[in-house]
Amino acid sequence: MPASVRTVNLKPPLTEADVSNLQIGDKVLIEGTIYTARDAAHKRLFELIDANKELPFALKGQVIYYVGPTPPRPGRPMGSAGPTTSYRMDTYAPRLMELGIKATIGKGPRAPAVIEAMRKFKAVYLVAIGGTGALLGRLVTKSETIAFEDLGTEAIRKLTVSGFPAIVANDVRGRDIFTEAVAKYAVK
C-alpha cells in the first residue's frame, strides 16, 4: 500500500491516464456524472449489448455506481445512496470494462477475473463506505432515471455528484487492497 494516502479529484468521463495514476489506498473525490446500475439493470444492459441495440449511455470512460437508492425527501434529488455488494456484478464487469467503463463503485472485494480485467483494460474499482448512505445521498445534486424505470430502485440513473468520496481498492496494476491490507496487518 502507498506510504501516504493521496487525495485525487476525478471528473468523469475518465481517461486511461486518469486511472493509471491511481494506487490502492488513494482517496478519490468525484465531481460530475456517474451512472447507477445493479443486478437487474446489468442483465438488461447486456441484453441490449448482445442484441447490438443502442445503450442508455455511452460506456467509454464512465463510472458505474452499484447502488439502489431510497426515495428522496422533498426538495432532494435522492435519498440514501449506500453501496451495494459488488461481487453480484462480477459476471458483467469484465465485458463492461472491455467496452470502456473505467471505474466501478461498490463495497466488498472483487473476483480474480474482474481484477484481471481491470489490469487488462485499464480500469479501477472504488469502494464507498457501507453505512454512509445518507451522507452519500446528500452529495448527489441531480438524479435522472434514464433506463429501465420499471425496475424501481434498480433503474439506471444518471447522477450528478459533488465531492463524492471513495477509496481505490483495485488499481490498473492488479493490486488489491483487500489482500494487501490483510497481509500487512495480519498477526504473525
- Residues whose CB is less than 8 angstroms from the CB of residue 55 and which lie 6 or more positions away in sequence, other chains included: 45, 48, 49
Which of the following is catalytic: 18, 37, 38, 42? 42
The label of the residue with cell 428522496 reads 72
Residues in Cβ contact with 138 at an 8 Å cutoff, skipping those fewer than 6 apart: 76
- What the block records as the C-alpha cell of 168 is 481505490
The answer to whether the CB of 139 falls within 8 A of the CB of 132 is no
Give the span between the Cα atoms of 145 and 155, in whole angstroms.
Answer: 7
- Is 42 catalytic? The answer is yes
Q: Distance between CA atoms of 160 and 133, rounded to whole angstroms?
A: 16
Active site (catalytic) residues: 42
